[in-house]
């Protein structure tokens, strides 16, 4: 059974991931995780998250993938002990000192080795397995053939996890100093400012600088599309599900703890649909172009297949367009309540009578309809739902369940 592992930057995103098909979620508490800018979870919130995930048959992994300084270890011990007490399923680590401490504090805890460890060989994978790792998250710089070779030369008791969708990093498996150079924020301690994705302009005829930091010059070549500091395309492997399913990878990981709940839901839903279609009958499996349409509806940069098929030296897959390709508007979410022929929704973005929308239900791609009327719970008709989190009702020509998403669409 292949695992679909989805990001959970906060409780709302975790619920979206679980509702839309995640087999497991990964998240961070308020310390020692590599996404310090995400909302993350306090220890009390984490306990509730574990209960929620387990009640839905979903595993929960916590990232502890920074490199703590010596003075931080006493506080880390308290966190590790609490993780064991509340039933976290696994910890994602990279630092050898942390790995050893996990074994001492919570000896029954599963240990997953982070992609930050840059594992690119079966020798390294096996060494981590001997140190107590149940799973290794391979470096994103590997080709599909290299992944297969690692699988062939590692025991089945060692699980392999690989990223299949989301942002790529211009440095090797996330180890970067560019953020430190520009802002003093340490990318290796969870505080990356992502300067590789900033907009750069002419500082003088021979160099470029970030538009708000003109004193920090870089010698770069400008292309007609603009100037970038190796800003990478996003990974998207939806068109290659058979290759993934037959590769020996145990867990397919989606990047994006700092992305929206809509992003989480759509990515989880789309990959789960495709994986289930393959499992029904591998010989009869057919790629559906609607799946890529779904993934193009979320905030992303240009898509590519990472290093699965391309040599990073000959094709670095840097972007040609400045900025993100914006996601369709996430308009509202179904509460699960109905009033006869009307369904209740909670507003996320402004929705108006006459808008053309699509409804997203777990296990299905978007289905289009036109809003023919909006009403307050008391029955009063309104021209639009403009207020954040307001509850309203409307007709939808499909069955609606709690958590279904309404998004904008073209006519």
CB atoms near residue 289 (< 10 Å): 8
- Percentage of the chain lying above the pLDDT 90 cut: 71
pLDDT greater than 60 at residue 36: no
pLDDT score at 15: 97
Q: Which of 57-66, 100-109, 306-315, 357-366 has the lowest mean pLDDT?
A: 306-315
pLDDT greater than 70 at residue 309: yes
How confident is residue 253, by pLDDT bands cut at 50, 70 and 90?
very high
Q: Which of 53-62, 79-88, 236-245, 326-335 has the lowest mean pLDDT?
A: 326-335
Half-sphere exposure (Cβ direction) of 346: Cα atoms closer than 13 Å: 10
pLDDT score at 354: 97
How confident is residue 143, by pLDDT bands cut at 50, 70 and 90?
very high
Higher-confidence residue of 207 and 399: namely 399
Start-to-end C-alpha separation, the chain: 40
Query: Using CA atoms, how far apart are residues 372 and 356, in angstroms rounded to an integer?
Result: 9
pLDDT score at 278: 98
CATH number for 330-408: choose from 2.60.40.10, 3.30.70.260, 3.30.70.600, 2.40.30.10.
2.40.30.10
Q: Which of 87-91, 115-119, 130-134, 331-335 has the lowest mean pLDDT?
A: 115-119
pLDDT greater than 80 at residue 315: no
pLDDT score at 67: 87
pLDDT tens-digit map of 199-209: 777 656 556 67
Higher-confidence residue of 156 and 321: namely 156
3-168+232-304 falls under which CATH superfamily? Answer: Aldolase class I (3.20.20.70)
- pTM of the shown model: 0.87
pLDDT score at 155: 98
Q: Which of 50-59, 219-228, 295-304 has the lowest mean pLDDT?
A: 219-228
Task: Please write down the HEC assignment for all residues of the chain.
Answer: CCEEEEECCCHHHHHHHHHCCCCEEEECECCCCCCCCCCCECHHHHHHHHHHHHHCCCEEEEEECCCCCHHHHHHHHHHHHHHHHHCCCEEEECCHHHHHHHHHHCCCCEEEECHHHCCCCHHHHHHHHHCCCCEEECCCCCCHHHHHHHHHCCCCCCEEEEEEEECCCCCECCECCHHHHHHCCCHHHCCCCCHHHCCEEEEECCEEEECCCCCCCECCCCECCECCCCCECEEECHHHHHHHHCCCCCEEEECCCCCCHHHHHHHHHHHHHHHHHHHHCHHHCCCCHHHHHHHCCCCECCEECCCCCCCCCCCCCECCCCCCECCCCEEEEEEEEEECCEEEEEECCCEECCCEEEEECCCCCCEEEECCCEECCCCCEECEECCCCCEEEECCCCCCCCCCEEEECCC
CATH 3.20.20.70, the chain: domain bounds: 3-168+232-304
Query: Using CA atoms, how far apart are residues 62 and 127, in angstroms rounded to an integer?
Result: 22
Q: What is the mean pLDDT of residues 210-220?
A: 67
pLDDT greater than 90 at residue 216: no
Query: Using CA atoms, how far apart are residues 293 and 297, in angstroms rounded to an integer?
Result: 6
Mean per-residue pLDDT over the chain, rounded? 89
Query: Using CA atoms, how far apart are residues 118 and 264, in angstroms rounded to an integer?
Result: 25
The answer to whether 3 touches 279, Cβ cutoff 8 Å, is: no
Beta strand pairing call for 200-204 and 207-210: antiparallel
The answer to whether 319 touches 248, Cβ cutoff 8 Å, is: no
Interior CA angle at 260 toward 257 and 266, to 5°?
A: 100
Closest CA to 84 of 112, 56, 46, 57: 46
Query: Using CA atoms, how far apart are residues 163 and 136, in angstroms rounded to an integer?
Result: 12
Q: What is the mean pLDDT of residues 135-162?
A: 96
Structure token pair of residue 106: 């919570």
The answer to whether 264 touches 197, Cβ cutoff 8 Å, is: no
Interior CA angle at 103 toward 102 and 107, to 5°?
A: 110
pLDDT score at 97: 96
CATH 2.40.30.10, the chain: domain bounds: 330-408
Q: Which of 98-107, 304-313, 351-360 has the lowest mean pLDDT?
A: 304-313
Q: What is the mean pLDDT of residues 229-247?
A: 90
pLDDT score at 121: 97
- Percentage of the chain lying above the pLDDT 70 cut: 85
């Amino acid at each position: 059974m292949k695992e679909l592992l989805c990001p959970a930057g906060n409780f709302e995103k975790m619920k979206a991931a679980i509702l839309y098909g995640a087999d497991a979620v990964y998240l961070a508490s308020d310390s020692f995780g590599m996404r310090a800018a995400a909302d993350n979870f306090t220890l009390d919130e984490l306990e509730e998250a574990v209960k929620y995930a387990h009640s839905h048959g979903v595993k929960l992994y916590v990232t502890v993938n920074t490199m703590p300084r010596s003075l931080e270890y006493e506080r880390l011990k308290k966190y590790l002990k609490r993780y064991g007490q509340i039933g976290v399923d696994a910890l994602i680590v990279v630092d050898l000192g942390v790995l050893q401490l996990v074994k001492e504090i919570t000896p029954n805890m599963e240990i997953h080795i982070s992609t930050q460890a840059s594992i690119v060989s079966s020798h390294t994978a096996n060494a981590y397995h001997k140190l107590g790792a149940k799973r290794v998250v391979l470096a994103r710089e590997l080709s599909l053939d290299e992944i297969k070779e690692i699988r062939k030369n590692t025991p089945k008791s060692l699980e392999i996890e690989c990223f299949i969708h989301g942002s790529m990093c211009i440095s090797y498996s996330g180890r970067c100093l560019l953020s430190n150079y520009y802002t003093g924020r340490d990318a290796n301690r969870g505080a990356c400012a992502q300067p590789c994705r900033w907009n750069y302009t002419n500082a003088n005829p021979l160099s470029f600088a970030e538009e708000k930091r003109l004193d920090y010059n870089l010698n770069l070549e400008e292309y007609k599309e603009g100037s970038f500091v190796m800003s990478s395309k996003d990974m998207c492997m939806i068109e290659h599900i058979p290759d993934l399913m037959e590769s020996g990878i145990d867990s397919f990981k989606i990047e994006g703890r700092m992305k929206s709940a809509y992003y989480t839901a759509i990515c989880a839903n789309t990959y789960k649909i495709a994986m289930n279609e393959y499992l029904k009958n591998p010989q009869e499996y057919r790629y559906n172009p609607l799946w890529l349409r779904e993934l193009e509806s979320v905030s992303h940069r240009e898509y590519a297949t990472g290093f699965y098929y391309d040599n990073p030296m000959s094709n670095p897959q840097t972007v040609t367009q400045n900025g993100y390709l914006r996601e369709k508007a996430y308009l509202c979410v179904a509460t699960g309540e109905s009033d006869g022929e009307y369904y209740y929704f909670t507003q996320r973005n402004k929705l108006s009578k006459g808008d053309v929308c699509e409804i997203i239900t777990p296990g299905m791609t978007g289905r289009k309809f036109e809003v023919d009327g909006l009403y307050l719970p008391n029955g009063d008709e309104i021209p639009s739902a403009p207020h954040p989190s307001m509850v309203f009702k409307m007709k939808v020509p499909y069955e609606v369940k709690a958590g279904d998403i309404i998004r904008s669409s073209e006519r």
